[in-house]
Chains A and B, each alone.
Chain A
Amino acid sequence: METWIRAGVIELSTAELVLPAVADQARTARIVAAAAARRAGMDETALDAVRLAVGEACARATQRAAPSEEIDITMSDEDGWFVVQVRERAGKLAGDARRVDCDLAETVIEALSQECSQDVSDDSIVTRMAWPIR
């Protein structure tokens, strides 16, 4: 399978990473998120939380999505907060095919994020996580 990754900087304080929704890319996401958090000025002690929470969100996305779909991750510094949004560009699969027991993942994300929310629409699911930089 061809593997592709797109990354870019939208503004000086925002980075975007687009990954195929395959399991081996969850590691890429958490490594990049931790690096971005470090660059934003977060303490080393807080990076584990970022790494794990973003990894969980991406892992959950890979379980819900087809490999041909994408996971869109934006990382930004917003008024002293490091914010990560994980967007699954969900396709139109049957409902049962997309239902995955993600209770543990949600528990971990909520526990490790200072703020978190999930926005579900017909064609996408966006998980937002945020941490104070200082």
Chain B
Amino acid sequence: MELEIAVRHLPKATVVAVGGEVDVFTAPQLDSLLAAQIQEGHTTLVLDFTHVEFLDSTGLGVVVKAIKRCQDDSGSISVVVATERIRRIFEITGLDRSIRLAATVAEVVGPSDGDLDPGGSDRVVDG
């Protein structure tokens, strides 16, 4: 199984939309992509987990690592969570207290030209 990842550079942030299951097998794909984006200077990131169907602690670890990298460059990461199932793992681990969680991308970056679909034209598939 592979993740579907789409990246879009907006004026206020870079949105990384993820689709599929983020677990011990697929998390390295997301880790590599986020590391590359941060390396390129995109340190204000919105991780759009709207289409994430499963997220475990390995995936959370990737998010935490990316946050630390961004913060080193005075950047930030917000995470869009649309389902209770995914929000729950942030709450269980207490990470909802230290990571900005939003219900939509627009909530973070303001009104834009539509939400990003991981299957859209900026689709990047790793795996």
A binding-site residues for B, Cβ under 8 Å: 23-24, 26-27, 30, 48, 51-52, 55-56, 59, 62-63, 102, 104-105, 107-108, 111-112
Q: What size tier do the contact residues of chain B reach?
A: 10 to 19
Which B residues lie within 8 Å of A30 (CB)? 54
Q: Contacts A55-B56, A56-B56, A108-B56 given; indicate if A63 touches B89 (C-beta within 8 A).
A: no
B3 CB to nearest chain A CB (Å):
12
CB<8 Å pairs between A and B, sample of 28 = A23-B24, A24-B1, A24-B25, A26-B23, A26-B24, A26-B25, A26-B56, A27-B1, A27-B21, A27-B23, A30-B54, A52-B54, A52-B89, A55-B54, A55-B56, A59-B23, A59-B56, A59-B57, A104-B57, A104-B60, A104-B93, A105-B58, A107-B57, A107-B92, A108-B56, A108-B57, A108-B89, A108-B92
Contact yes or no, B56 A63, CB < 8 A? no
Whether a CB of chain A sits under 8 angstroms from the CB of B85 is yes
Between B21, B24, B89, B93, the greatest number of chain A beta carbons within 10 A of the residue's beta carbon is seen for B24
Which A residues lie within 8 Å of B92 (CB)? 107-108, 111-112
B binding-site residues for A, Cβ under 8 Å: 1, 21, 23-25, 54, 56-58, 60-61, 85, 88-89, 92-94
